[in-house]
Amino acid sequence: MTATRLLRTTARAALPALPVLAAAYAAPVLSTYGPLRNRVMPRLSGRGRPDHVALTFDDGPDRLSTPLFLRLLDERRVHATFFLLGNQAVRAPGLVREIAAAGHEIAVHGWLHRPLLLRGPRATYDDLARARDTVGDLTGCAPRLFRPPYGVMSTAVHLAARRLDLTPVLWTAWGEDWRARATPESVHRTVTGDLRGGGTVLLHDSDCTSAPGSWRATLGAVPRILDTCARRGLSVGPLREHAVDPL
């Protein structure tokens, strides 16, 4: 299932129950709708300082594709935030250390790439804790940021993240780079069409939940996105450099 189809599905599933839910339970619905979320929850959406764009990659690490992203970012002297999956990280522990050693920010995307809205509080907490502890052990530094699979938040996610001292961050612009028909041109056009200063860009350095080989379109789009940001006078970096106040 693609991320957009899943988002629509989860949004549909959440909406009929909304009138009878307590205010706290509005979170899954709000965080699912991008434009509304960006306005109502700027911090959760990754809104930062207006002269900066945060570059983020989800679903890695991947032995095949991630090293190519690291090489490209090194050539362009740009740092990014990598939201790693725990079950991917244990398969490539050296690569996790390499990402950190290159100066990138390490964050977590959960242990398994499953929508947390469908899981209970205990399973949600265990998933996040396992991912945080495993990635933290590999790098020697506890991750502080968390992005739920598909961007779907729930009350259980909010509570688990708070207990684990993880700050959830979503995105303001994505490249639809998970699609089989994505090209460097389409990813660049989709990202920059929605991109303003202070925005957070979501891309994928791995195809583990995307169309096979889709990361090639992402890799081709990154230099164009960086060029467009430079033309617009926007600096690009990780989330740790993004916010006026530290996230």
Choices 54-62, 164-172, 182-190, 236-244; region in contact with Zn ion by CB under 5 A: 54-62
- The rounded distance, in Å, linking the Cα atoms of 39 and 37 is 5
Of 11, 12, 25, 3, whose CA–CA distance to 150 is shortest? 3
**How many other C-beta atoms lie within 10 A of the C-beta of residue 180?**
11
* Spatial distance between the Cα atoms of 203 and 222, rounded to a whole number of angstroms: 9
Distance CA 237, CA 176 (A): 20
Given 52, 158, 204, 242, the catalytic residue: 204
Q: Under 8 Å CB-to-CB from 90, ≥6 apart: which residues?
A: 134
Sequence-separated contacts (24+) of 185-188 with Cβ below 8 Å: 185/221, 186/217, 187/217, 187/218, 187/220, 187/221, 187/225, 188/221, 188/224, 188/225, 188/228
* Cβ 141 to Zn ion shortest distance, Å: 22
Q: How far is the CB of 208 from Zn ion (least distance, A)?
A: 8
Quick one: 58 or 176, whose CB is closer to Zn ion?
58
Among residues 148 and 199, whose Cβ is nearest to Zn ion? 148
The least distance separating Zn ion from the CB of residue 77, rounded to whole angstroms, comes to 26
Q: How far is the CB of 26 from Zn ion (least distance, A)?
A: 23
User: Does residue 105 bind Zn ion (CB under 5 A)?
Assistant: no
* Nearest position to Zn ion, beta carbon: 58
Min CB(113)–Zn ion separation in Å? 5
**8 A C-beta contact, residue 198 and residue 50:** yes
**106 contact partners, CB below 8 Å, separation of at least 6:** 81, 82, 84, 96, 99, 100, 135, 139, 141, 143
Q: Which is nearer to Zn ion, 6 or 30 (CB)?
A: 6
For Zn ion (CB under 5 A), the number of binding residues is 2
Q: In terms of CB distance, is 59 or 127 closer to Zn ion?
A: 59
Q: Which of 58, 105, 205, 207 binds Zn ion (CB under 5 A)?
A: 58
Q: Does residue 207 bind Zn ion (CB under 5 A)?
A: no
Give catalytic status of residue 204 as yes or no: yes
The count of other CB atoms within 10 Å of the CB of residue 245 is 7
Is residue 59 part of the contact set for Zn ion (CB under 5 A)? yes
- The amino acid at 127: D
Q: Is 137 a catalytic residue?
A: no
Q: Which stretch binds Zn ion (CB under 5 A): 51-59, 68-76, 175-183, 234-242?
A: 51-59
Q: Which stretch binds Zn ion (CB under 5 A): 50-58, 63-71, 122-130, 138-146?
A: 50-58
Active site residues: 58, 204
Residues making contact with Zn ion (CB under 5 A)? 58-59
